[in-house]
Each structure stands twice: as C-alpha cells, then as structure tokens.
Amino acid sequence: ITALVLGLALAASPGQVGNHVLDILNPSTSYNREVGYLLRWVLAFAAVVFVVVTGLMTYVTLKFRRTGRETGEPVQFHGNDRIEVLSIIIPTLIVFIIFGLTAQSMFKLDRIPPGAMTVEVKGWRYWWDYHYPEQGIRNSSELIVPVGKPLVLEVTGGDVIHSYRITSLVGTQDAIPGFTTRIIVTPEKVGDYYGQCVELCGASHANMRFRVKVVPQETFDRFVQEAKAYQAPPPSDPTLAKGESLFKANCAGCHALKGVSPVNPATLQNPDLTFFGNRTTLGSGMWPNTPQYLEAWIKDAPGLKPGIRMPAFPQLSSADVKAIADYLLSHKLEGLDFNFPESQ
C-alpha cells in the first residue's frame, strides 16, 4: 500500500529544474497527447489486473483461513483447466490490445506532416549543435524554432553516444555517431523548454543541457533573416578591439564566429559563437548568460564543467577576460530576445 501511494504521488507530480516544470503528460504537443493516451490505457489495464488479483487473493485468504473447526484433511484436487486457460488467454489478449494501440500510435507519430522543417541536431561532449539546412544557418546550444511548424529533428552524435530529450515536448532519441535518428514533433505553445542529454556520455553528462525556444513565426523569420545577413561589426571601442584580438589569439582556433573566424572541421567540433549575445544560457544550458558567469567561464571552464575540451585560461588577466566577454556579448542579432517567462 505504501509503495502504491508513493508511486501515485510521484506519478502525479511533474519534475522541476529551476523554473522549468518537466511534464511528459503536458499536452503541449500531439506527441505527448498520444503518449498520455497510451499511458492511460496501460494504467487502466493495470488497475483492472490489480483489483482482480488482489481481490481474489483477499477472498481466498479470508474464505479458506484456518478456523480451528477443521476435521481431517481438506479436499485434495489437482489443477483447474478452466482457470488455467483463462489465466493464459486474458493476459495474452491484454498484451495484444496494448501492442495494437502502441503500433497504431507509432505509425501515426512517425508520419512527417506536410511543410515540415528539418533541423540537424548533433551531440558533442557536452553540448548540442544545430544546423538548419533549408535556411543555411547554424546555432549552438539553443534550438530556436517557430510555433505550430512540424519539425523533423535529424539527430546524430559527433563523438560518443548521447541522447536527445525535450521532456515537455517529445520522447527520447539516441544521438549515435555515424547514424541518424529522427524526431518528428510540432511544438504548439510558445515558450522556453528544458532539454537534457539522457545517455551517460562522460564526466559532464548531467551538465549536457539545452534549451528549446519556441517562438512566434514572425520572430523566427526575423531570426533567420538576421542570422543569414549577420556581419560581425568592427569593434566600436578600445575594449572591444582588445577583446577581438584576444579572441583571435585564444578562441578562434576552436570557435567559429562569422566574419572573424571561419567554419572549418576544427570549429565545427565546438560551439558556434556568431550571435553569442542572443544566448540566454551559458555552458550549454547551465547558467544564465551574464557577464559575471561568462567571465568565470572563460577563466576556468573545466573547473565549472568537468571533462570538457575547453581549457582554463589562467594566463589571462581579469581585464583580458572582461574584454573577451564584452566582445562576445556584443555579437547580437538586433531586436531579438529569447528570454521567455513561460518555462516548460
């Protein structure tokens, strides 16, 4: 009974990370509605089985308990064909019904709706990269998508096996190097969604988080237009000029920044920093993207996120670090803010 009550209590309360409420039954996508529908069928069968089995056990225990008035041996018999046949047929039927419902949902969820948009998702230790092949843009760590648009996320891994999960939107899909899996989902509500790698992939697996920003179509169109046209502005003051030369000397070998350091096989293995000022989080979803956190990150990233490839920069002075941080934050698509009050 304790286990039952505890199980029900846990099932009824969605998880929470920061201000993100994680709820797989949140009906904000057709995917989760379908999963919720299946779950209710399975729970309904489980409830019937539970009531019948515990009911019969209680009945038998009470009816045939020792009363002290027994005389001699009870009636001896072997087996009961009718009960045995029923106890095979009924569970088999239940399994077939659940199988049928599941297969039906799987076929339904695996159909690509017309007008779907493709985004290539690549998992690296310990962050996620996004390529929009139709729009020709790249963004790292935060996925920005329009509301109401069917999405085909083509998921793969860059180094080891990861797994991509946006709890309140859609189920899990493994990110395997050399292999592409697919997530089909239509986000139906504008908001900031929490995502997490769910395959143990190394020291910072638990820190391999991300955000999905579901934005109105106009915002997305503007994002695409500005991202495509983006030109890194020339440094407008001495601090930014210093930041740029420090960035070129220390960061450009690993990170692409359109107009400053190119996309190449090396920079493709690390987060793109082109419009870093628009990121709402830092360290792949770990902290808010503020100057304070960013400076601490540049100084000692592996101290904040164990196991990452980015080295610490103890040789940089506080002024140097501040200049790089200011420089990165100055790269921004104008008029776009992806901080949403609605968190899921």
208 binds ligand CUA per the rule CB under 6 A: yes
Strands 281-282 and 287-288: antiparallel
d(CA 174, CA 165): 9
Nearest to ligand CUA of 129, 326 (CB atom)? 129
Helix, strand or coil, per DSSP, at residue 312: coil
Which one among 123, 191, 243, 285 touches ligand CUA, defined by CB under 6 A?
123
Part of the chain binding ligand CUA (CB under 6 A), chosen from 147-155, 195-203, 227-235, 291-299: 195-203
| H/E stretch holding 288 | strand 287-288
Part of the chain binding ligand CUA (CB under 6 A), chosen from 27-35, 140-148, 197-205, 320-328: 197-205
**Closest distance of CB 79 from ligand CUA, Å:** 52
Size of the site for ligand CUA (CB under 6 A): 9
Which one among 20, 122, 131, 205 touches ligand CUA, defined by CB under 6 A?
205
The count of C-alpha atoms lying within 13 angstroms of the C-alpha of 330, restricted to the half-sphere facing its C-beta, is 20
| One character per residue 136-175, x = contact with ligand CUA (rule: CB under 6 A) | --------------------------x-------------
**Closest distance of CB 262 from ligand CUA, Å:** 27
Part of the chain binding ligand CUA (CB under 6 A), chosen from 45-53, 62-70, 200-208, 277-285: 200-208
Helix 291-304 vs helix 318-329: crossing angle, to nearest 10: 110
d(CA 274, CA 331): 7
Helix 81-109 vs helix 30-63: crossing angle, to nearest 10: 170
Which one among 201, 256, 310, 321 touches ligand CUA, defined by CB under 6 A?
201
User: Which residues face 144 on adjacent strands?
Assistant: 213
d(CA 207, CA 200): 11
**Closest distance of CB 43 from ligand CUA, Å:** 30
122 binds ligand CUA per the rule CB under 6 A: no
Instruction: Please check whether residue 131 is in contact with residue 120, taking contact to mean a CB–CB distance below 8 angstroms.
Output: yes
Part of the chain binding ligand CUA (CB under 6 A), chosen from 14-22, 94-102, 201-209, 276-284: 201-209
**Closest distance of CB 195 from ligand CUA, Å:** 11
Laid out side by side, the sheet with 142-146 consists of 142-146, 209-215, 191-197, 162-166, 170-175
CA-wise closest residue to 333 among 101, 47, 137: 137
Nearest to ligand CUA of 15, 291 (CB atom)? 15
197 binds ligand CUA per the rule CB under 6 A: yes
Q: Where does this chain bind ligand CUA (CB under 6 A)? A: 123, 126, 162, 197, 199-201, 205, 208
